[in-house]
Structure 1
Amino acid sequence: MIAERGLAGLKTRDLARAIGCANGAVYNLVADVDELILRVGSRTLRRLDAALTGAEGAGPASPQETLVRIAIAYCDFAAENLELWRALFEHRMERGKMVPDWAINEQMELFGHIYRPLAALFPKRGPEQLGITARSLFSAVHGMVALGLEQKLVAVPLPALRNEIAGLVRAMLDGLVARQN
């Protein structure tokens, strides 16, 4: 349902009808709509992890080129799974509710794909500094993907977006390498 209609199109009444149960029975499976969305997000993150793992292990490459592959795989995943990908970032927990630790841990595990090549590229950096760099690199790529796929004023054709992302990642890494010397 989310894949077809987006997060706003998720209605528990429609979901209950689709799986053949009473509306209230959905809440025998999950505590509330927030948990339902987080569980869908968990499945999406597993699929994203598989795509990033494939890019990471696609053959011998320098840490820089591995990061380029990961960034392009992220872009491609978002383009191919647009509504599920958007739901990961659009969902807001009910006021006063915290995101459960299991959901946060799943999200943070994905940063390992960025962290590992960065650690190889910058062996003198500590874990905290590498984590900040990983999150900064992700933010730059994510911003390009989000705006590039928006299909509004700043929409960028996918092949051009891939090239721009590769250029951004290389430029950022070249700058970081030059700054460390």
Structure 2
Amino acid sequence: MGRRSDHSRAELEELILAAGHTLLAETGYAGFSAREVAKRVGYSVGTLYNVFESHDDLMLAINTRTFVEWAAWISARLERAGEDRIAVLVDSYFDFATANRNLWMAIYDHRLPEGAAFPDRYAQDRRTLTLIVEQEIARVLPPERAHEAGPLTRSLLATVHGHCVFALNGTFALLEERHPRDAALARVREALAAA
């Protein structure tokens, strides 16, 4: 494919991210290909890697876009939430993962090489999701324990995530757990009650 110069660097980055995000949603991480992304945007793979430093950088950017969408998804649900905002958080986690299975799984399927530092340029966008949850956890804690919201949030996210993974990959069906979402919410409520 010949060289093109139809787009600025910022426009090209957005084109690549949009095409990569769409491809990842269609194929999942195992079927994802930078070559296919380049083909979809009409540029060479070399151009793609002039915009993104590496395959890992491209995946981090695409997965960060998923985090941004996920945070917006949860925020929108919280805006319409009644009093039981914790149930809304758990339901939103399951709903987003179910509706965006390939994108959601790709966040966890892609791993940086051993010892590689996570780039700062993606950290803040990813942190937004955790901060939304942390604010909701802090709201239900007694004021004198609000400082524990951060560590508790991380543990509760791990709990809900584990339940969600087992639900989506069929493990809970094998374990004869028919209501994994309810089980996740029950574990969260227990932890919050103990706190």
TM over 0.5, shorter chain: yes
* Greater RCO (Cα-Cα under 8 Å, separation 6 or more): 1
> What does residue 141 of structure 1 align with?
160
- Give the TM-score normalised by structure 2: 0.78
Superposed structure 1 runs of 4+ greater than 3 Å apart? none
Counterparts of 1:102 and 1:74, CA distance in 2: 24
> What does residue 90 of structure 1 align with?
109
Counterparts of 1:155 and 1:14, CA distance in 2: 35
2:21 aligned with 1:18, yes or no? Answer: no
> What does residue 10 of structure 2 align with?
none
Q: Aligned pairs, how many?
A: 170
Give 1:154 deviation, angstroms.
2.7
Consecutive unaligned residues in structure 1, runs of 5 or more: 177-181
Counterparts of 1:121 and 1:113, CA distance in 2: 13
> What does residue 29 of structure 1 align with?
51
> What does residue 172 of structure 2 align with?
154
- Give the TM-score normalised by structure 1: 0.84
| Residues 52, 73 of structure 1: 8 Å contact kept | yes
Give 1:175 deviation, angstroms.
3.0
> What does residue 125 of structure 1 align with?
145
Q: Percent identity at matched positions?
A: 28
Consecutive unaligned residues in structure 2, runs of 5 or more: 1-22
Counterparts of 1:43 and 1:146, CA distance in 2: 21
Give 1:126 deviation, angstroms.
4.7
Give 1:6 deviation, angstroms.
1.3
RMSD: 2.0
Counterparts of 1:73 and 1:43, CA distance in 2: 17
Counterparts of 1:94 and 1:126, CA distance in 2: 35
